[in-house]
Structure 1
Amino acid sequence: MIDPAYVSAMARYNAWQNENLYGAAASLSDEARRQDRGAFFGSIHGTFCHLLWADRMWLSRFTGTPKPSVPGSESSRMIEAWEELAAERQVTDVLIGDWAAGLSPEWLAEDLTWVSGISRRELTKPKAQLVMHFFNHQTHHRGQAHAMLTAAGVKPGDTDLMLVDLRG
């Protein structure tokens, strides 16, 4: 299905795109970042908060790191200050890269059992599928953030996966 090289490449892509979008968002006022733009999590800030929340939740399941301190229903308000959000994003991207660099094919071949807050029940799924979900979720919400940034008059850099060297 997937292998550790794929996971490491996607971790690098994730960090590259977060740097791209956060850089574009930094050129906006705080008011513009928090403006409700009709996305699922409302604003650029809210979408970035949700993404950070979800990445930390999945990392807690994958590695045992601490879970986010707020429930999923409050993920879009997890961190109020822009500077703190941007700094925590960078820290989390390093954690994702370190986790990816240490993966083995054996780990990816196993199942993971966890209690889902969304479905409110215990689930068991293949780790490889969950890792694909992890990166797909990031891409989905970054696409929303990209659209909101563009609507706000900011032009983020390229997002095409083929444009970055993912070999490490």
Structure 2
Amino acid sequence: MVWAEATWLERLLGCAVVQTPASPAPLEVLHELWQQVAAKRKSGLEAADPDARITYAYSGGTATNTVAEIVLHFTSHAHFHRGQLASQMRLLGLQPPSAHLIGFFRL
């Protein structure tokens, strides 16, 4: 999830896309990347034009979407996966943190 959001954020900012590691990354690496993504997301999106059109490459070719559409996509997609993680945690008998979408915006 961290790399997916980092990838979309890099696309929005017009930067090179972050490469996903070949094997699972240590939690320290994920945490550091998440801190960087959160800081870049805040500053980048505050300055972004929601109607600006971004052309980017993805596994199926290239596409063009507005900043608003891309933000909506990575927000809803991340929320979907947070729900999956919460479900898996409950199956393990753990109490997951809130997976409510509003929590994403409270960061």
TM norm. shorter chain > 0.5: yes
Shift of the 141–85 alpha-carbon distance from structure 1 to 2, 3 Å rule, reads same
Aligned counterparts, 1:17-96, within 5 A: 51-70=1-20, 77=23, 79-96=24-41
Once the two structures are TM-superposed, the CA of residue 86 in structure 1 deviates from its matched residue by 2.1
Structure 1 unaligned regions, length at least 5? 1-50
Pair 1:108-2:50 in alignment: yes
Number of corresponding residues: 107
> TM-score of the superposition, structure 1-length normalised?
0.54
| Structure (1 or 2) with the larger CA radius of gyration | 1
> TM-score of the superposition, structure 2-length normalised?
0.79
Q: Deviations over 1:66-96 (max 9, x none)?
A: 422238xx5xx4x521222123222212221
Shift of the 141–165 alpha-carbon distance from structure 1 to 2, 3 Å rule, reads closer
- For 1:130 and 1:142, how far apart are their aligned partners in 2? 18
Greater length-normalized contact order (CA 8 Å, ≥ 6 residues apart) = 1
**Equivalent AA in structure 1 for residue 50 of structure 2:** L
Aligned counterparts, 1:123-142, within 5 A: 123-142=63-82
- For 1:98 and 1:126, how far apart are their aligned partners in 2? 18
The structure richer in helix per residue is 1
**Equivalent AA in structure 1 for residue 40 of structure 2:** L
Structure 2 unaligned regions, length at least 5? none
Shift of the 58–87 alpha-carbon distance from structure 1 to 2, 3 Å rule, reads same
CA RMSD of aligned residues (A): 2.6
**Which residue matches 2:89?**
149
Once the two structures are TM-superposed, the CA of residue 128 in structure 1 deviates from its matched residue by 1.5
